[in-house]
Amino acid sequence: MSDLTEEYQLEYFREEGFVRRECPDCGDHFWTRDEERELCGEPPCEEYGFIDDPGFDEAYSLTEMREAFLSYFEDHGHERIDPYPVAANRWRDDVLLTQASIYDFQPLVTSGRTPPPANPLTVSQPCIRMQDIDNVGKTGRHTMAFEMMAHHAFNAREDLEDPDQYAYEGEVYWKDRTVELCEGLFEDLGADIEAITYIEDPWVGGGNAGPAIEVIYKGAELATLVFMSMEQDPDGEYELKDGNRYSPMDTYIVDTGYGLERWTWMSQGTPTVYEAVYPEAIAFLKENAGIEHTDTQEDLIHRAAKLAGRMDIDEAEDMATARGEIADRLDVDVERLEALMEPLEEIYAIADHCRTLAYMLGDGIVPSNAGTGYLARMVLRRTKRLVDSVGVDAPLDELVDMQAERLGYRNRDTVRDIVRTEVEKYRETLERGGRRVEGLAEEYAERDDPIPLEEIIELYDSHGIQPDTVEEIAAEYGAAVEVPDDFYSLVASRHGGGALDDGSEGVDDRVVDLPGTEKLFYEDQERTEFEAVVLDVIERPDAGEDGGTLYDVALDQTMFYPEGGGQPGDTGTLATDDLTAEVVDVQEADGVVLHRADADPGKGEFVRGQIDATRRRRLMRHHTATHVIGHAAREVLGDHIRQAGAQKGTESARLDVTHYDRIDREAVKTIERVANDMVRENLAVTQEWLDRNDAQANYGFDLFQGGIPAGTEVRVVTVGDDVQACAGTHVGRTGELGAVKILGTERVQDGVERLVFAAGDAAITTTQRTEDALYEAADTLDVDPPAVPDTAERFFEEWKARGKRIEELKEQLAEARAQGGESGEELDLGDATAVVQRLDADMDELRATANALAEEGTVAVIGSGVDGATFVVAVPDGVGINAGEVVSELAGRVGGGGGGPPDFAQGGGPEAEALDDALEDAPDVLRRKLEA
């Protein structure tokens, strides 16, 4: 077994006269030009040495520093590329947010399947790390949003037998050049390169690993140089810090990260990073919140900030303890320090959070209850709480907009609209929650009990109310609340970890060995017949719907479109001279199209393929219509509209789009109109294979609506102004759609709306179905279709009025019966009288009659033979008979049951024929109950 020590013996270090040392404090090995140096230079071994003593020649703003970095690397042979969105889930499904520049190139570029946009390249990539959220503002150095400046080089081993297997070849540069470039940058900025230390710190992550170097200057880690060159391998020769074994890869990648904010901070030497990065925002917020400091206070803040930078808040779990220690060192009162620092910390956090929101919303993330949208919602709500707590009265959308403007976003109106909508939603949630808590607090305060933990968890988990909010409100009502320290892990335990089902079917070995199928459907989308050779037939382990055996037939070429991109696979037939096999489904695995058929045409046979042309045409129309609808929706609702999913069928299709509000009827009609304008213009639908990096550079990230495909080339489908990477089949011109009809919308989740629509003959069919329903309703009401709404309303109103009238009449009837003589025979029970009567009416009438009798002071036993046998028994006040018991006994005789309160009960059973017998026994039952 070997470790990575050898990997750090750089030619560059030798030539430049570096020495390798071991830090006596932390034990790390590092390289330095300074022979006298003992410590590694990284906190906590050493302190920040740049506060009030900047490490570069000049002070740089964020923008200036970014430009200095990018142009330095441009001057040294790197191509500058545009940053990617912060929503990393737009090109990979394993993460939500972009947390490092290398995320831009995972997994397709790093694995060598897709070429990088340039090589070598430099980028300043906006990143968001939610992990640090609690530290933001407090430590002086943590930010949630940051830009990772980077230079990357993608190398492939030069001694490979088959260099073509990767999308890039040969070595661009490796470790020596990387360190040299890094040091050159320091020199350019006027740093004292003698003071830089390079700490050996092997990197492991996501199945890859390699040597890495932390670059420390004046106590701050300014860069990390990662040399990704190994992959996890049980038989690998290197065992690394995660306990796994690794072996070298064919590709090796220079992955660097330079924190833009830290470099800017270093150049200014301000007490905290925030003052260096957001000077305008902080000045604005301070003024708005009315925060002013005397010179002595200012001095104290300055001294406290320096100490805050030294504290490792991650380890000092408890903020209060950390604060206490700082107060001790400064020899001031903790309360005084806290009163001074807390508003400032909140303002720092607000500035950072607003920038985070600007990135998220500007890049098209729509707040939601799921995915990245949920993270955006969390940040927004947290920010709103901070803004309220510190007393800033500027609307949140304005604060976010300030950052969006600075970052150069163009969709600022939409961003503001989203923020306003979200703030309003949050307000409603708080209001709802507040009422709920008040109710609970009152209840428990009355009983003098503390509000149980279960309730607190329920309030948070189901209603989104923070425990401290509950405490606040509860205190007003004098109710106690106990929130344990591990509250949030208790909540987490409520969400039992569901087992991940990995949907990967596992590709059959025989399929892997087959050559990729030639896809004829891209060459001519109108053709429906073809001839092919059967390369292999694999019997499916699972039977078809009717129990018959199914076979996966692989051909050398095919017209059958395999399921993909929301378009179902084609159906049709494969015929030899001897038999015709029905193709019920078509899938693709590893480049091989598998025709799932109900018969085995025989390996090596010639087959004539015929696809179901009508079905295919409908699917094609719906696929093109999906692009048209998506484009129309974006035009009508805004640029944040993106595809969140799609499914095409023969009768209709659906497109899920990201949107922060319900799509109302008016918007639906407008989208429908715009879509049909596109149809009437009869736009050409073109399909071409383009170099992916060119296409991405031309059309931007919005090109990829339905996921990111691998490869050097992408298939691009253009419909008018709409351009998308798409592998599906399409009609030639939009005119072939005939008409597009939106059938409805539904909310899939918060922030995602589903548009259901139909095109062509399907649009006609579905519209006719809706019309049929209307005509039928009109026919029933005996009016013309346009009169249906008014008539329906009138009928409904009348129906309700009639119901009320009937109620009234039943009451009157009941009273008349009770007072009139027809109320059966009276029965003397001694203390009271009773009436036993059969009255074939519904339950309402029975109840009314029994009540009326009871009000007259008579015990009432009424039985009905309508719909089985039912009884109602009413007992006046002061009579010692339990109505429930009487009913229970009577109902038992008709095969049922019953019950109710002692003064009024009802019941019944299915045996109507036993009703009269039961009523005859009723007087006996009453007497017995009275005696009991």
Partner RNA sequence: GGGCCCAUAGCUCAGCGGUAGAGUGCCUCCUUUGCAAGGAGGAUGCCCUGGGUUCGAAUCCCAGUGGGUCCA
> Has 627 been labeled as part of a binding site?
yes
Answer for which of 903, 921, 923, 927 binds RNA (CB under 7 A) is 903
Q: Choose the binding region for RNA from 42-50, 327-335, 458-466, 590-598 (rule: CB under 7 A).
A: 458-466
Q: How far is the CB of 708 from RNA (least distance, A)?
A: 17
Q: How far is the CB of 318 from RNA (least distance, A)?
A: 20
In the shown chain, the binding pattern of residues 860 to 879 toward RNA, with x for contact by CB under 7 A and - for none, equals --------x-x---x-----
Cβ closer to RNA: 432 or 680?
432
Q: Is 906 in the site for RNA (CB under 7 A)?
A: yes
Cβ closer to RNA: 429 or 549?
429
Q: Is 649 in the site for RNA (CB under 7 A)?
A: no
Cβ closer to RNA: 320 or 492?
492
- Find all residues with CB under 8 Å of 138, minimum gap 6, and list them: 308, 313, 319, 345, 349
Q: Report which residue type is found at 375.
A: L
Long-range contacts of 395-403, Cβ-Cβ distance < 8 Å, separation of 24 or more: 395/420, 395/423, 396/354, 396/423, 397/423, 399/281, 399/285, 399/350, 399/354, 400/354, 400/357, 400/358, 400/361, 401/358, 402/280, 402/281, 402/284, 402/354, 403/281, 403/351, 403/354, 403/355, 403/357, 403/358
Ramachandran sector of residue 477 (left: φ over 0; alpha: ψ -120 to 50; beta: rest): alpha
Q: Is 134 in the site for RNA (CB under 7 A)?
A: no
Q: 516: which DSSP letter?
A: P
Q: Give the pair of three-digit tokens for residue 116.
A: 């990088």
List the interface residues with RNA, window 393-432 (CB under 7 A).
Answer: 425-426, 428-429, 432
Q: Are the beta carbons of 576 and 602 closer than 8 angstroms?
A: yes
Tokens 């609808």: give the residue: 629
Q: Are the beta carbons of 125 and 104 closer than 8 angstroms?
A: yes
Q: Choose the binding region for RNA from 339-347, 368-376, 568-576, 633-641 (rule: CB under 7 A).
A: 368-376
Q: 821: which DSSP letter?
A: T
In whole angstroms, what is the distance from residue 643 CA to residue 655 CA?
A: 7
Cβ closer to RNA: 130 or 407?
130
In the shown chain, the binding pattern of residues 492 to 531 toward RNA, with x for contact by CB under 7 A and - for none, equals x-xx--x---------------------------------
Q: How far is the CB of 870 from RNA (least distance, A)?
A: 6
CA distances from 799 to 118, 785, 789 (A): 73, 21, 15
Answer for which of 9, 826, 899, 916 binds RNA (CB under 7 A) is 899
Answer for which of 48, 460, 521, 560 binds RNA (CB under 7 A) is 460
Q: Is 804 in the site for RNA (CB under 7 A)?
A: yes
Cβ closer to RNA: 429 or 557?
429
Q: How far is the CB of 857 from RNA (least distance, A)?
A: 14
Q: Are the beta carbons of 619 and 652 closer than 8 angstroms?
A: no
In whole angstroms, what is the distance from residue 59 CA to residue 706 CA?
A: 45
Q: 52: which DSSP letter?
A: T
Tokens 């009928």: give the residue: 795
> Has 726 been labeled as part of a binding site?
yes
Cβ closer to RNA: 40 or 456?
456
Cβ closer to RNA: 335 or 746?
746
Q: Is 369 in the site for RNA (CB under 7 A)?
A: yes
Q: How far is the CB of 431 from RNA (least distance, A)?
A: 8
Write b or e for each residue in 522-543: b if 16 or more Cβ atoms lie within 10 A of its Cβ, otherwise e. Answer: eeebeebebebebbbbbeeeee
Q: Is 92 in the site for RNA (CB under 7 A)?
A: no
Q: How far is the CB of 12 from RNA (least distance, A)?
A: 40
Q: Is 90 in the site for RNA (CB under 7 A)?
A: no
Answer for which of 900, 921, 923, 927 binds RNA (CB under 7 A) is 900
Cβ closer to RNA: 442 or 677?
442
Q: Report which residue type is found at 667.
A: A
Q: Is 907 in the site for RNA (CB under 7 A)?
A: yes
In whole angstroms, what is the distance from residue 131 CA to residue 378 CA?
A: 13
Cβ closer to RNA: 15 or 917?
917
Answer for which of 316, 370, 787, 806 binds RNA (CB under 7 A) is 370
Q: Which parts of 782-838 are beta strand (E)?
A: 826-828, 833-838
Cβ closer to RNA: 211 or 467?
467
List the interface residues with RNA, window 738-777 (CB under 7 A).
Answer: 746-750
In whole angstroms, what is the distance from residue 727 CA to residue 714 CA?
A: 9
Q: Report which residue type is found at 656.
A: D
Helices (H), ranges, 598-741: 613-637, 665-680, 692-699
Q: Choose the binding region for RNA from 320-328, 489-497, 628-636, 682-690 (rule: CB under 7 A).
A: 489-497
Answer for which of 99, 904, 912, 918 binds RNA (CB under 7 A) is 904
Q: Are the beta carbons of 166 and 250 closer than 8 angstroms?
A: yes
Cβ closer to RNA: 48 or 904?
904
Cβ closer to RNA: 391 or 439?
439
Cβ closer to RNA: 269 or 898?
898
Q: Choose the binding region for RNA from 80-88, 183-191, 566-574, 898-906 (rule: CB under 7 A).
A: 898-906
CA distances from 560 to 528, 532, 733, 736 (A): 9, 11, 21, 21
Q: Choose the binding region for RNA from 106-114, 158-166, 573-581, 901-909 (rule: CB under 7 A).
A: 901-909
DSSP H or E stretch at residue 447: helix 412-447
In whole angstroms, what is the distance from residue 319 CA to residue 862 CA?
A: 73
Cβ closer to RNA: 176 or 750?
750
Q: Is 566 in the site for RNA (CB under 7 A)?
A: no
Q: Which parts of 522-666 are beta strand (E)?
A: 529-539, 551-555, 557-558, 572-575, 580-589, 592-597, 606-611, 643-648, 653-658
Q: Give the pair of three-digit tokens for residue 338.
A: 């806290």
Please tell me the count of residues contacting RNA according to CB under 7 A.
57
Answer for which of 603, 662, 769, 928 binds RNA (CB under 7 A) is 662
- Find all residues with CB under 8 Å of 163, minimum gap 6, and list them: 156, 169, 170
Q: Are the beta carbons of 213 and 254 closer than 8 angstroms?
A: no
Q: Which residue in 213, 209, 230, 251 sits closest to 116, CA to CA?
A: 251
Q: Choose the binding region for RNA from 55-63, 269-277, 399-407, 490-498 (rule: CB under 7 A).
A: 490-498
Q: Are the beta carbons of 812 and 845 closer than 8 angstroms?
A: no
Q: How far is the CB of 84 from RNA (least distance, A)?
A: 21
Q: Are the beta carbons of 197 and 30 closer than 8 angstroms?
A: yes
Q: How far is the CB of 855 from RNA (least distance, A)?
A: 9
Q: Choose the binding region for RNA from 240-248, 397-405, 461-469, 598-606 (rule: CB under 7 A).
A: 461-469
Tokens 């102004």: give the residue: 721
Q: Is 464 in the site for RNA (CB under 7 A)?
A: yes
Helices (H), ranges, 32-188: 62-75, 175-188
Answer for which of 269, 859, 896, 918 binds RNA (CB under 7 A) is 896
Cβ closer to RNA: 141 or 377?
377
Q: Is 910 in the site for RNA (CB under 7 A)?
A: yes
Q: How far is the CB of 463 from RNA (least distance, A)?
A: 5
Q: Is 144 in the site for RNA (CB under 7 A)?
A: no
Q: Is 491 in the site for RNA (CB under 7 A)?
A: yes
Give the interface with RNA as residue ranges (CB under 7 A).
369-371, 374, 377-378, 381, 425-426, 428-429, 432, 435-436, 439, 458, 460-464, 488, 491-492, 494-495, 498, 662, 746-750, 796, 800, 804, 847, 851, 868, 870, 874, 891, 895-901, 903-910
Q: Which residues are annotated as a binding site?
A: 623, 627, 726, 730
Q: Which residues are annotated as a binding site for Zn(2+)?
A: 623, 627, 726, 730
